[in-house]
Structure 1
Amino acid sequence: MKTFLYKAFIILVSIVIIDVVVGYVSRYTLAHLPQSNANVPHTVNSLMTETTDILILGASKAKHGIDPKRLKRDFQMDCYNAGEDGEDMFFYNLILQGMLSRSTPKIVIVDMAPLSLNNTPSVPKYLYGLSPTVDKYAEQINTWQENIKLKSNLYRYNNLFPLLIGTIRGQNRGNDGYTPLDGEYTRAELVPADELVVEPIEQQSLDELVRTCRTKHIELYMYISPCHYHNNKLFNAYLKKYCTENDVHFRDMSEDENYLTTKYYKDRDHLNRIGAERFTQDIIRDIKACRQD
């Protein structure tokens, strides 16, 4: 019995030591990632370190469709694109709240899509424990079992290093969050998308983002970016009504006649580099017009 207990104690101590080492190495790695717009370093920078005057929020349509360099040049203010593939309103609000712990942006631009409000929110495990803001919001959506498991570094970082492969290979280098797409979409076909689903946690996140911008005197601009044969009119109408009721500047460009040609698209959802340049310029003109009113 004593031998068994001794071995069990040694195993337990070994696991604790390994857990501590894994946590230290992982946190050190995250803190010293090279500048990149690849998923992991981009997400870490957006949530943990970035400060800017103009903050761009959204999913992949924002990341690939709004050029912060052009906004910086025209407004003479720092600009950062925090858009990330597949993310939702919960994530947009999390980024804003995290940034507010460091500085307050003057302008927030949000590119909205049905995914923004129709998604199951999540926070990457590797972010847990890096920031009180991240922990606070993660605990709101996690089960109590998940929150307990996240106390373990072995669990928290068990898929971190595979996610870093793109960064190690030097892909998506940059430090402004923008990753333009090249190529032209030629297989234009109508994709019906007339279903409106608004998840309660996403609606709460939208409400909090709008409320935060109003309280902090941040200029808030919401857009639905151009798309090619893939448009959800029910979502567009819902967002227009919401923005009108909450006094948020909104512009639906999903069916803008200036973007009907395929030369502006990488695929049916995303603008290519040429389309992104035009869309960014339209945003700049729109914001300038609002500021003059």
Structure 2
Amino acid sequence: MTDAQHNRREAFKIFASIIRVLLLVAILDFAIGSVLDRMYMNQKSGLESDTTYAINEADEDVIIIGSSRANHHYVPEIVSKELGMSVFNAGRDGQFTFYYEALISSILDRYNPKLIILELNSLELLYSQESYDRIAALHPYYKESDRIKRIVELRSPFEKYKMYSKIYPYNGAFLTILQNSLINKKSGDGYKPIFRTMENPEMKSMEVKNKKFDENQLSSFKRIVEMCENKVQLVIVTSPALVVGDDQRKYDKLLELSNELGVIYYDFAYSDHYMENLQLFADELHLNDEGARIFTQDLVEKMKKDKRIEF
């Protein structure tokens, strides 16, 4: 055997070894990813199960959507009793407009609720890397629709390539998936009460003067309004908080957009009723259970008096 033949044979062996390793990795990725996907989609408790339910199964008359300020502030039991409708709270901690758009589009693809309440404030529309990082919550639903694909791919230029991996959508979520699978207890109506009172409550200022509004999030909000038009009554709400931006003009952006787009918007952010009763807060951004129940009742009463809303 000549040196050239020997070198070719060795090169072939190395190439074959690389192919075998890649094939093994692909098989393991598919097998493990498939198991994780099945476990994830079958969770019966936790925020992830609420998302899956909202996207694939929810059929309630009223859907509440937003961040942790939604799942901690809106009590479905009260809304249901006052309006005589079924209600689900699909709020999820740490989310932004991209997530809300994905949920609302998925829901409207299946059916038209009578009412969607969207918890939102102007500060959420400012640019932040966090708003893009949190898109990861939609990874398991990447193939659900073209709209979700588009939203997920906003996270990075390489996201669509990463999604070829079946394990990638569940990175860092194994223990959560396992825990929620073992609990096997349904999350109920989605409300997550906080049973504590804030110590030494006071208004806090958030620096926003040097921050700009995110054009992607502004576009996402406008698409939400367009999707709901002629399909479902949409009500935008900013619930009470003890945090305010240091540039009031930025904080009024949501009011400006709502007027421009002709959508109903209620701003409870600086309601005297809450500012004078700080024991209703669990922290600067969240009401406790007592505060949430009072706020939900106030919101329902306001909606019932609003002639623009047809129940």
Q: Same fold (TM over 0.5)?
A: yes
| Contact map agreement 1:128 1:134 (CA 8 A) in 2 | no
Root-mean-square deviation over aligned CA pairs: 2.4
Alignment match, 2:18: 8
SS state at 1:231 partner: strand
CA distance in 2, matches of 1:222, 1:144: 31
1:150 aligns with 2:166: no
Alignment match, 1:23: 33
SS state at 1:85 partner: coil
Q: 1:261 aligns with which of 269, 277, 295?
A: 277
1:244 aligns with 2:259: yes
Q: Tell me which amino acid in the other structure corresponds to 2:96.
A: D
1:161 aligns with 2:174: yes
Deviates more, 1:232-241 or 1:178-187: 232-241
CA distance in 2, matches of 1:100, 1:107: 11
CA distance in 1, matches of 2:151, 2:202: 39
CA distance in 1, matches of 2:42, 2:67: 25
- 1:177-188 to structure 2, matched below 5 A, reads 177-188=190-201
User: How many residues get paired?
Assistant: 289
Residue 44 to residue 134, structure 1, CA distance change in 2 (3 Å): farther
CA distance in 1, matches of 2:236, 2:217: 16
How far residue 113 of structure 1 moved from its aligned partner, in angstroms, is 2.3
SS state at 1:56 partner: strand
| Contact map agreement 1:125 1:150 (CA 8 A) in 2 | no
CA distance in 2, matches of 1:219, 1:292: 9
CA distance in 1, matches of 2:260, 2:302: 20
CA distance in 2, matches of 1:256, 1:241: 19
| Post-superposition CA distance 1:201-234 (Å, at most 9, x none) | 1100110111111132x11111111123x22343
1:48 aligns with 2:56: yes
| Contact map agreement 1:123 1:138 (CA 8 A) in 2 | no
User: Structure 2: any 5+ residue segments left out of the alignment?
Assistant: 1-9
Percent identity, aligned pairs only, is 23
How far residue 282 of structure 1 moved from its aligned partner, in angstroms, is 1.0
SS state at 1:101 partner: helix
CA distance in 2, matches of 1:258, 1:166: 40
Q: 1:204 aligns with which of 199, 219, 222?
A: 219
Alignment match, 1:138: 151
CA distance in 2, matches of 1:231, 1:178: 25
CA distance in 1, matches of 2:146, 2:56: 9
| Contact map agreement 1:186 1:262 (CA 8 A) in 2 | no
Q: Larger radius of gyration, structure 1 or 2? A: 2
User: Structure 1: any 5+ residue segments left out of the alignment?
Assistant: none
CA distance in 2, matches of 1:50, 1:137: 23
Alignment match, 1:110: 118
| Post-superposition CA distance 1:237-257 (Å, at most 9, x none) | 222222122221112111111
Q: 2:80 aligns with which of 72, 79, 84?
A: 72
Q: TM-score, normalised by structure 2?
A: 0.84
How far residue 15 of structure 1 moved from its aligned partner, in angstroms, is 1.3
SS state at 1:97 partner: helix
CA distance in 1, matches of 2:205, 2:61: 38
How far residue 126 of structure 1 moved from its aligned partner, in angstroms, is 3.9
SS state at 2:241 partner: coil
Q: Tell me which amino acid in the other structure corresponds to 2:281.
A: Y
